[in-house]
Amino acid sequence: MDWCIRISSAIVIIITQYFIIYQSHSIYVFLVTATLFAVLDYSIRALFEWEYSQNPKQSILTISEMLILITVIAIVIRLDLLNIVSQ
């Protein structure tokens, strides 16, 4: 399951980079797709840690890490820290 998500996210990120480089879309498209796949990856990892791990409370740390990542990316997008004018 984890490998399927990683392979599909790699393919989608490569396609997204093509659109950013050759079709001149905004870099925020990449940030949003990377965030969506990170949320999916962290959620499934937390689920498996909760269900099948000897230490199920590790899933709480995984969810916390996911929330920190989402917060940082939202701040970067909201404050336009990349100094890119949206098209």
- pLDDT 10s digits, 28-53: 888 889 899 999 999 999 999 999 98
What is this structure's pTM?
0.78
Residues in the chain: 87
Q: Within the chain, which residues score under 70 in pLDDT?
A: 84-87
Angle separating helix axes 27-52 and 2-22, nearest 10 degrees = 170
* Range 7-17 burial, b when 16+ CB lie within 10 A, else e: eebeeeeeebe
Report residue 87 CA to chain centroid gap.
22
The per-residue pLDDT for 70 is 93
CA nearest neighbour of 63 among 82, 29, 38, 80: 38
Which residue is listed with tokens 């590790």? 58
Q: Is 46 exposed, middle or buried (0-12, 13-18, 19+ CB in 10 A)?
A: buried
